[in-house]
Amino acid sequence: MSLRFVPLQLSLSLSLCAALACNVAGDDVTTTGVQLPNEPAPEDSEPRGLLVLETDYSSTSVSLVDPSGALLSPVFIGSGSADTGLSTALSGDVVPPSGALAGDEVVLIDRDAAVLTWVNLETAAVRAQLNVGTGFAANPQDYVPVSDDKAYVTRFEHNGSSGLEDFDQGSDVLIIDPSAPSVVGRIDLAPALEGEGSGHLPRATRALAAGGRVLLLAQAGNALFEFLDTRLVVIDPETDAIDQVLVLEGLKSCANLALSPDGDELAIACNGAFGQDPEQGFPDAGIVLVSLGHEVAEQARFLAAELGGEQVSALAYASATSLLFTTYGRYSADASELLAPDTLRRLDLERGAIDDEPLVATRTSAFSLGDVRCTPLAGTCVLSDAESEGGVLRRFEVASDGSVSELGQIATNPELGLPPRYLGAY
């Protein structure tokens, strides 16, 4: 064998290696759906099951559990469920809709790619996808089905170079036809900021349907992420027009909402402005209860000082008189010490006070507790916890008096190991 042919041999052997062994294997985990009960569409307070979105902010996988947290499908769909091209199947920033979804499909909102994905619950097959970016990084936040051929998508970002595509202004509600799917219109939310100076945008975030109306949170922020008081905007889906705007005076960055079991009340979580000094007690953070009569109206307010002194994150009704909520932890100025853990707490709405001790507190990290979701009629709640054991779903039982006790925890997708962060319902 002549040394003259070494480069050729090297090339061939390395090419063989490439073909046989050097490529990495894609995610070959089998995705599975769930058997759906042959029952009518559920109410928000009694979902058939929950979606658990696990993410490390680089990729996402979705598991399905029953309302008590028992695992139904460890891998329903994920970033590895389709080949990577210019983009990935699901980015690391995917959330479920706030409301429970009826029918045999769930919708995933990929905020990074600005894409909605409709997935069949029984087959785990994707029926359709729709890009709702209209040519810019729209950052869609929520999806509210209105009818079989109409749904709303809230979009946070504004398009500074709009006019190149239809409906590309942003910071609005996009009207889509989910059956096609296609974009069919938009609702301008600028009137929700009437009377404010220029420069602020509606910055629509989470939304829910209740009592024939759609309720959405508009954070009212400018381009530099400085926020006015959050608005609760009521939209009439018959006319696609704003019916009412309720300004949550003094509260900022309200980003989560939950519907009471009877559907007559809305709880809104506000985490307050970014970058504020904790010594000031987060005066613009808290929980607001809004009655959903003919007109929506604020009926109760609990400021952060009454809720343990930290910024409020997610919330859910455990019962008509019991509200579970999470708070963000925080670190010391040099990030070397955990000054306050993330917590899960219970607010007794009858007493108007929180329980003395948190139900859950993280040990070493902040920003590890994610969504909390309850099924009041079943008396169960679940919490996503990204700290414990690398990420688990914690299960709770709700007693008839509204008190809550932990049942245990479950790793929803140990094969991939991504920690759970977000919870949806179907």
Partner 1 sequence: MRGDATPLGHVRRAPSVAATSLSGESLSGAGLSAADVLSRVPGVQVTRTGAQSDVATASIRGADADQVPVYLAGVRLNDEVSGTADLASVPLWLIERVEVFRGNAPEAADRLGIGGAIFFWPRVPRATRLGGGVGLGSFGERQGWVFAELGSPRAASLVAVRRSAANNDYSYTDDRGQRFDLDERRAVRQNADFAQTDAWAIGRWQLGRGARASSVLSLVEREQGVTSLALAPVRRARSTTRRLLFGGSVLVPCAANERCRLELETSAISAGSRIADPALELQALGARWLDDRGERASQRARLVYQLSPELSLSAGVTAALENLRVRRDGALPRGGNRRTLLPSLAAEWRPLPALAVFALAALECHFTRGQSVRFGFGIEQGSDGCPVQPALRLGLAYTLAPRLELLSNVARYVRAPTLGELYGTSALVDGNPNLRAETGVSLDVGLRHTLRFAEGRDALSVDAFAFARDADELVRYRRSSLEALSPFNVARARLLGVELAAAADLFQHVRLEASGTLLDARETTRDPTLDPTPNDVLPNSARLTLSTLAELYTTLDGSLLGRASLGLRYFHKSSRYADPAGQNVLPEQHFVDVEAGAHFFGERLALRVALDNLFDTQTSDLIGLPVPGRSYHATLSLTF
Window 120-139: residues binding partner 1 (CB under 8 A): 126, 128-131, 133, 135-139
Pick the closer one to partner 1 by CB: 348 or 367: 367
Q: Give yes or no for residue 115 binding partner 1 (CB under 8 A).
A: yes
Query: Using an 8 Å Cβ cutoff, are 378 and 46 in contact?
Result: yes
Q: Give yes or no for residue 81 binding partner 1 (CB under 8 A).
A: yes
330-389 residues in contact with partner 1 (CB under 8 A) are 330-331, 333-336, 364-368, 386-387, 389
Find the shortest distance in angstroms from Cβ 4 to partner 1. 6
Tokens (6 digits) for 411:
């790793």
Q: Give yes or no for residue 276 binding partner 1 (CB under 8 A).
A: yes
Q: Which residues contact 142 (CB under 8 A, 6 or more apart)?
A: 95, 97, 98, 109, 153, 154, 205, 206, 207, 216
Selected binder of partner 1 within 84, 147, 182, 299 (CB under 8 A): 84
Tell me if residue 241 falls in helix, strand or coil: strand
Query: Using an 8 Å Cβ cutoff, are 252 and 227 in contact?
Result: yes
Query: Using an 8 Å Cβ cutoff, are 302 and 347 in contact?
Result: yes
202-261 residues in contact with partner 1 (CB under 8 A) are 223-225
Pick the closer one to partner 1 by CB: 260 or 326: 326
Query: Residue 410: beta bridge partners?
Result: 393
Q: How many CB atoms lie within 10 A of CB 40?
A: 7
25-64 residues in contact with partner 1 (CB under 8 A) are 25-27, 56, 58-59, 61
Opening angle at CA 121, ends 130 and 155, nearest 5: 30
Helix and strand numbers (H, E) in the chain are 1, 33
Pick the closer one to partner 1 by CB: 10 or 353: 10
Q: Give yes or no for residue 403 binding partner 1 (CB under 8 A).
A: no
Q: Give yes or no for residue 293 binding partner 1 (CB under 8 A).
A: no
Alpha helices, DSSP H, located in 286-339: none
Pick the closer one to partner 1 by CB: 208 or 366: 366
Selected binder of partner 1 within 39, 83, 356, 357 (CB under 8 A): 83
Rounded to 10 degrees, what is the CA torsion of 352, 354, 355, 361? Answer: 160
306-325 residues in contact with partner 1 (CB under 8 A) are 311
- Please give the helix or strand (H or E) that residue 141 lies within, else none: strand 140-147
Q: Give yes or no for residue 180 binding partner 1 (CB under 8 A).
A: no
Question: Per-residue x/- marks for partner 1, 86-105, CB under 8 A?
Answer: xxxx--x-------------
